[in-house]
Copies of this chain bind each other. A is one copy, B any other.
Amino acid sequence: MKYSFKNDYSEGCHPKILEALSQTNLDQQIGYGLDEYCISATDKILKLCNSSISTVHFVSGGTQANLILISAFLRPHESVISATTGHIFTNETGAIEATGHKIHSVETDDGKLKQSHIQSVLDLHQNKPHQLKQKLVYISNSTEIGTNYSKDELISLSNFCKEKKLYLMLDGARLGHALTAENNDLTLADIAKYTDAFYLGGTKNGALIGEAIIINNQDLQDEFGFHIKQKGGMLAKGRLLGIQFDVLMENNLYFDLAKHANFEAMKIKKVFSDNGFEFLSETFTNQIFPVLNQNQIDQLSESFDFYVWKKIDEEFSAIRLITSWATPENVTDQFCEAISGLKK
């Protein structure tokens, strides 16, 4: 079978998680997230967030996290601002709208929202109450196209949102990859400080399932459990989520796994670069988008799986390559060789 660079959720989970599941398997625990592993994982996360006021909740996946957070935070007449590349806007089957809320989308160059983008949406919606009240800004870090926010960018955005009375929510399905990218200057504590809420993705960074929601704005913490339950996100065996994050947050494992993924991606990026290939966007995380001609795509496809992402012109297309915590170094090496050997 061909090795797949299609995504970062092709394998199971980090072996330490399996070990922990085995070791704790027959302990009786209270259900619904009140078990001791959830409590321990919460403590570790809050320590890393350097926050004593944030609250932590564990849910199964990203779409679930997004729809629960947004529907819990907004009143019926309040809406969301997102980049057109935002996961909630394009790849969640209208999950947010299904809870009653419109998403206003803005085109960006690099998947990152800036103040000007948000202001442009506000400007277009001055005719109240015939137009919605914008109330929440949704960003992803790393973004859906692999880019990541700098500390300056996040602080500016955060200040702007506060000024405009907008909540800032960060989709961290790949936050580990963002925070360990070579160009990153943000910490988890910064994320907790400058957002109203965010989540730390497990599914794409070594867990079987699971995202850890962190709510920093105290006004938004109230009665959040009701929303998780109502939307079908409260697992009877919450321990499954607690144990995983308890392992991932121990000894920097979460960040080490992400760093590995980034490192493998950067190795591949360098080979493409050295061989004169261009990229759809410059990324430092575990997603890269090199531009190849059809002949080259066919050659690489013989031994490796990946998505053809975007047609550039009649001859060229960008492909998407994603590495993960599980990508073996030797496979990356083989892939790099294959790249170096590509014929026109």
Contact = CB atoms under 8 A, between A and B. Distances in A.
Contacts of A92: 130, 229-230
Contacts of A21: 12, 18, 21, 208
A343 interface: no
Given A209-B240, A237-B12, A77 B61 contact: no
Interface in A62-78: 62-68, 71-72, 75-77
A232 B64 contact: yes
A313 interface: no
Contacts of A101: 94, 97
Given A10-B31, A72-B75, 13 more contacts: A10-B28, A11-B28, A12-B239, A18-B25, A60-B232, A61-B234, A64-B232, A77-B223, A90-B131, A92-B130, A94-B132, A128-B225, A129-B234
Contacts of A232: 60-61, 63-68, 95, 231-233
Interface stretch (A1-9, A260-268, A286-294): A1-9
A204 interface: yes
B18 A230 contact: no
Nearest to A2: B28
27 contacts: A1-B28, A4-B28, A18-B18, A26-B326, A61-B232, A61-B234, A63-B232, A65-B232, A75-B75, A77-B223, A91-B131, A92-B229, A93-B129, A93-B131, A93-B132, A94-B102, A94-B230, A95-B229, A97-B100, A97-B102, A100-B100, A129-B223, A129-B225, A204-B236, A209-B209, A231-B232, A232-B233
Interface string A130-156: 111100000000000000000000000
Most chain B CB inside 10 Å of its own CB: which residue of A12, A13, A61, A124: A12
How many monomers of this protein are in the complex?
Answer: 4
B71 A76 contact: yes
A27 interface: yes
A127 interface: yes
A231 B95 contact: yes
Of the four ranges (under 10, 10 to 19, 20 to 34, 35 or more), the interface on chain A belongs to 35 or more
Main secondary structure of the interface of A (DSSP, over half): loop
A92 B234 CA distance: 10
A226 interface: yes
A52 interface: no
A340 interface: no
Interface in A162-190: none
B11 A130 contact: no
A69 B234 CA distance: 17
A234 B63 contact: yes
Nearest to A201: B236
A82 interface: no
A26 B3 CA distance: 12
A262 to B, nearest CB: 19
A326 to B, nearest CB: 7
Contact of A236 (B15, B61, B94, B129): B61
Contacts of A68: 232
Contacts of A32: 130
A130 B225 CA distance: 9
Nearest to A239: B12
A229 to B, nearest CB: 4
